[in-house]
Structure 1
Amino acid sequence: MAEDFNTRVIREFRENDGRVGEPFTGLPMILVHHVGAKSGAERIAPLRWFPDGDRWVVVASAAGAPRHPAWFHNLMANPDVTVEISDGEGAVETRRVHASELPDDERERIWTWIKDTNGGFADYERKTDRRIPLVAFTAR
């Protein structure tokens, strides 16, 4: 049976000191350990992260899907989680963090910067009618 995309990315992350292949080659990645809001099942979401001071920011784009990704709902229900953070160059650390959705003023500043420097996210925004949330992880 073939590996699904997320399983492959998680495996590559762990086997290669936080480095993964396409489409994330050389990018800083984060494995977010979260708990299903309804199921209570433990899950892992591999995501691209962006720096903002002492926080790590991720985009709940779901590639422009009409709904927020499941991990976003799980984090809003259970925001205290563990993450494995990679700088994309071979350094990985595990941290306990608190997840929070960015308020409008912070979101606009960071979202504009992300779209300006990573055009794929602007494409995702054009594909959907929903407002794409940004989530910040702060070390606990």
Structure 2
Amino acid sequence: MTRPHVPPNPPRPTRPGTTKPTETTSHTKEKPTSTRKRVATEDPYKKPSKTRKTTTSRPGLDLSNDPPYDQVEGTVHRLIKGWNYLKAENQKLEQKILLWKRREGELVEQVRKLVLIQRAADTAFPAYDEAY
């Protein structure tokens, strides 16, 4: 017995947004290209610098724009060095202020003595100012 003619199965409907896979042969298949490009001035034998992982510990925290750890570490060292320099300069200025206050106190004492001497001279010789 022969079978009566049966039409082939119709193609299955695809979900919206999906596409049929295209057939590619091995000789026409495109190879993925590298996404990393070298800068012309970069030394090809230099070890790549260690960079900080960009993991997010909290939702909404984006660390992808952070500079590499080496740059951050260098910046921190420069800031600490600058801070120590400013602390030393501040100590020098405080010492100068104390010295100036001491000198000011000495000058005030000298002026008091001179005022006392002047008053004593004015009472002892009242006619001296009028003569000149």
TM-score band by shorter chain is under 0.3
Between Structure 1 and Structure 2, which shows a larger proportion of strand residues? 1
Instruction: Name the structure, 1 or 2, with higher relative contact order (CA <8 Å, separation 6+).
Output: 1
When the two structures are superposed, what TM-score results if normalisation uses the length of structure 2? 0.16
| Structure of higher CA gyration radius | 2
When the two structures are superposed, what TM-score results if normalisation uses the length of structure 1? 0.15
Between Structure 1 and Structure 2, which shows a larger proportion of helix residues? 2
